[in-house]
A and B are shown apart, each in its own frame.
Chain A
């Protein structure tokens, strides 16, 4: 029996216009899909390309990592030490996380476990708004609101420094940590809570003994991403740190961050000069650190899902 629609010149399974259009878009979508990989590799390559000359020619490894002296414009002998900036960045990140993590996780517990219905939605929207405030506005708040406040409250000589930056960073990282922590709590099945409550545990006992341990990896990952966020922040730190090169010894000390150094100096350097390349070398360092943090955070979450 022959197929009524078959045509001698055109076999039934011939590839038609639709087939070719489909193939074309499949390839196009694939290329767009892998673009994210190309961009990450591209970022690395281009930043590396500009920074490599510095690493090969001008950089003294021990000076770069262990000297606190960043004097790229010195006419006598320029030095490129990032120790003070690493110390400043580290100090402010640690302090910011010490403030941000407990508060964010507490807030996440409230939203995930206690708040209900409309209240919960409203709270989440407010947290979303907090996340939307741009970095440069946070920097402006640090200058115009926090600075005088810190001077008044603590009788400090200056309000810009570790404390100011840490408070701003804590508020900036809080929304992302809160929403990731909330996700981690939501990922814990309700049956766990019900089982605990069936044994007579209160909500809080259920949270402390069942939900928190089960969400541990999710929380760790949220914390890591918060660290990555704080570590890579630029404008807000530039404006809130005081920007003096100095290993901070108190929370009121001014300091300078790696990111802020690039932001403040890149505009004043000649393309291709050692100073310009040194800033890109800092960029490589920042890229690698945040890359590792993001990978670790993802790995921790994935590890749980597989188990």
Chain B
């Protein structure tokens, strides 16, 4: 029995007069990893921004169509900040806020007023860092600046930060772009564990990463959803649209 956690209906996105995504209809199921693949500028990142309702923070971004999370239309949400607290986001390049490792992870709970006691917060920071496979490397320098970590460590720090509010949905946008292969593998392992607790949307430029991780995969091209389906058959040539198999086989990109 599938449980549609996110239901996207006829979603279109434009920045000013530039349309970046046209009429996307798509479901994301609970506790799955949905892979989103496609060449650059096909609207993948904008799709994530739309789920997070970033159009409210950017005056030039316009959204039409509807996005339902847990069956509630996000257009009817009165407090979008509360919505975003349920969604964790990881960017292509790690954004190390000029804070210590500890404060980076503790920032969101503190701002939301859910930090609790010092012990609770310590425990939560440790748990998030463990789940992001970073704890062992930083446990002795929790109070050093996060920006002093290596690139791969910083990216795992942003994952820990995204997990700090126990989100229901985790969205990752090409997280491995600036990360070494070993770190990428460790993060991938972590994601497989995390999906038992949350729904994950994984935007990736690496077709094989989607193959390794995604339960289902969506293919975006030039601002349109070409198709979405179960990953395995798709990667074995069972695509509805020939462009999808061409892309997967690396005939263009």
Chains A and B in contact, CB within 8 Å: yes
User: Which A residues are in CB contact (< 8 Å) with B81?
Assistant: 18-19, 22
Query: A19 contacts which chain B residues (CB < 8 A)?
Result: 78-79, 81-82
Per the bound structure, the CA–CA distance linking A85 and B81 in Å amounts to 61
Residue of A nearest to B112 (CB): A18
| CB-based contact B168/A18 at 8 Å | no
Contact with B along A246-272 (1 / 0, CB 8 A): 000000000000000000000000000
B190 located at the interface, meaning its Cβ lies under 8 Å from any Cβ of chain A in the complex: no
Question: Which residues 1-15 of A sit at the B interface, judged by CB distance below 8 A?
Answer: 1, 3, 12-15
Query: How many angstroms from the CA of A18 to the CA of B3 in the assembled complex?
Result: 31
Q: Which of B69-77, B146-154, B219-227, B245-253 contacts A (4 or more CB under 8 A)?
A: B69-77
B83 within 8 A of A: yes
In the bound complex, CA of A17 to CA of B81 (Å): 11
Do B79 and A16 touch across chains, with their CB atoms under 8 A apart? yes
In the assembled complex, the Cα of A294 lies from the Cα of B112 at a distance in Å of 46
How would you classify the secondary structure of chain B's contact residues: helix, strand, loop or mixed? loop
Q: Indicate if B113 sits at the interface (CB-CB under 8 A).
A: yes
Interface size bucket, B side? 10 to 19
Restricting to B107-163, which residues have a CB under 8 Å from any CB of A? 111-113
A53 CB, min distance to chain B CBs, angstroms: 46
Complex CA–CA separation, A3 to B113 (angstroms): 19
Which residues of A sit under 8 angstroms from B112, Cβ to Cβ? 18
Residue ID in chain A nearest B114 by CB atoms:
A5
Q: Are A1 and B3 in contact (CB under 8 A)?
A: yes
Instruction: Give the distance in Å from the alpha carbon of A18 to the alpha carbon of B81 in the complex.
Output: 9
- Asked if B30 is at the interface of the complex by the 8 Å CB criterion, the answer is yes
Q: Taking CB as reference atom, which chain A residue is nearest B30?
A: A1
Known: A3-B168, A15-B78, A15-B79; 8 extra A-B contacts, CB below 8 A, are A12-B82, A13-B76, A13-B82, A14-B78, A17-B113, A18-B81, A18-B111, A19-B82
Can you list 18 A-B pairs, Cβ within 8 angstroms, ordered by A?
A1-B3, A1-B70, A3-B70, A3-B168, A12-B72, A12-B83, A12-B86, A13-B76, A13-B77, A13-B83, A14-B82, A15-B79, A16-B79, A18-B111, A18-B112, A19-B78, A19-B79, A22-B81
